[in-house]
Amino acid sequence: MHKRALGAVAVTGVAALALSACGGSSPTTPSNTAAGTAKATTTGVPETPSGTAAPVRDANVDLVIWTDADRSAAVQKYADEFAAENGVTVKVQISTDTRQQFKDATKVGKGPDVIVGAHDWLGELVQNSTVAPVNLASDVSAKFLPKAIEATKFNGQSYGVPYAVENIGLMYNKDLVPNPPKTMDELVATGEKLVKEGKAKQVLSQFVSKVGNAYFAYPYLSAFEGGGIFGTNAQGGYDPNKVIVDSPGSVKGGEVLADLGKKKVLSTNVDDTNQDALFDSKAAPFMISGPWSVAKAKEAGINYGIAPLPSLEGGGPMKPFLGVQMFYVSSKAKNAALAQEFVTNYIPRKDVQLALFEVGKRPPALKEAYDEVSATDPDVKAWYEAGVDGAPMPNIPAMNSVWGPFGQATADIIAGKAGAQARLDAAAKEIEANIAKG
């Protein structure tokens, strides 16, 4: 959930992946049997809208699914199977901005029945009455990783079925660093030594940018007791009335950011345009990133390793946010029973979870699928272990008020424009004001 996690900062929404173009297709229309009943039919190819336009729903199709380009082929395969098995028509459409386009289309009764998206959209979608609870049986729910199921819930109610989890960790160049550092101090000392020896140009590559990145900055706060973004309520959920970005623990994390900025370990000159390149060109021996960076590292021939984020002096291990990818059912689904059937009976299947895993290589949310891929793919196990102590990214609507102010505050702290205490105090006030405005 990397670029997606920028939220309002980059105005990409939480669109996690760069969306690629996909082959076009003709509109789906039902065909009739001799008995005059609808016969199963799909295009066999996901439908791609023109430019950034929202997909247009075909009123004659029984079940419409919106997804991004990366997952469209895998979703199409099982949409075809579902159509044939149930004697219905199904269309898979590619959306370039699923969350916003879904909200807009649903308001006027032209939205899809099922969407594929991130769990932190949930609170906003529930608030806008655009998604429906899903009827996932308890024995089926128990087959998933507990934190993945936790992320699909809002106010105790489940609103989707998860298929993947993701988080950031520490990638390191094994040719330069045989064993990963356990602490940030060790990481800095090792990196500075390599720079001094001319084997590297900088210590660490991490997305910061001029406007900051709250997703990547959060683990520095979470390493300290009481540090984070929101406190919790009596039920253990995030409480929008308890903003804690300026708590003593959070300020300690901010002071670490300031120190790393002063040492040039972190820089606002590093963003999504050069983060991977710095690691893949061996300019930096370390990179804090996620599964989305692996393919480029492999292409560059980097002998990489993946490890949990390091511990911070005076605190504990940095704990990343967990992102969960899931299937939602629209509250305005044309055929709610069909939508529920597809989401609750197809998505929990191991073969479906494995097919979706092949797109992006994020650890599957289904335990059986995770066990299978982690037994043969060390990267999957490593990413999972890097996030095992993480908490699901807040899925409450108030989180939309956090990304910009908190991200900018951390960029200013790293750049030395303001001290941690004063800048996080100001960010907390701005966040609280944004939440109050709704």
- Domain contains 39: no
Measured in degrees and rounded to the nearest 5, phi and psi for residue 6 equal -70, -25
Q: Percent of the chain beyond pLDDT 70? A: 89
Helix segments in 223-321, DSSP class H: 248-262, 275-280, 294-299
- My answer on whether 357 and 402 are in the same domain is no
- My answer on whether 180 and 145 are in the same domain is no
- Domain contains 32: no
> How many residues are listed for the chain in this entry?
438
- My answer on whether 233 and 336 are in the same domain is no
- My answer on whether 294 and 416 are in the same domain is yes
- My answer on whether 88 and 220 are in the same domain is no
Token code pair at residue 268: 């606002």
User: Does pLDDT of 109 surpass 80?
Assistant: yes
User: Does pLDDT of 22 surpass 80?
Assistant: no
d(C-alpha 322, C-alpha 308), whole Å? 13
- My answer on whether 344 and 221 are in the same domain is no
- My answer on whether 218 and 262 are in the same domain is yes
Q: Percent of the chain beyond pLDDT 90? A: 84
Element (H, E) at 16: none
- Domain contains 15: no
- Domain contains 426: yes
Predicted confidence band at 46 (pLDDT cuts at 50, 70, 90)?
Answer: confident
CB atoms within 10 A of CB 24: 13
pLDDT value for 6: 39
Q: At what angle do helices 350-357 and 69-86 cross, to 10 degrees?
A: 160
- My answer on whether 194 and 279 are in the same domain is yes
- Domain contains 7: no
Distances (CA, A) of 253 to 212, 224, 245, 306, 424: 15, 7, 10, 23, 10
Predicted confidence band at 30 (pLDDT cuts at 50, 70, 90)?
Answer: very low
* Mean model confidence pLDDT for the chain: 90
pTM comes to 0.86
- My answer on whether 356 and 240 are in the same domain is no
Is 116 strand, coil or helix?
strand
- My answer on whether 190 and 223 are in the same domain is yes
Question: What is the CATH number for 365?
Answer: 3.40.190.10
Cβ atoms of 333 and 65 closer than 8 Å: no
pLDDT value for 42: 56
Cβ atoms of 136 and 106 closer than 8 Å: no
Q: How many domains, the chain?
A: 2
- My answer on whether 135 and 275 are in the same domain is no
User: Does pLDDT of 11 surpass 50?
Assistant: no
* Domain of 154, in residue numbers: 63-166+323-392
- My answer on whether 286 and 420 are in the same domain is yes
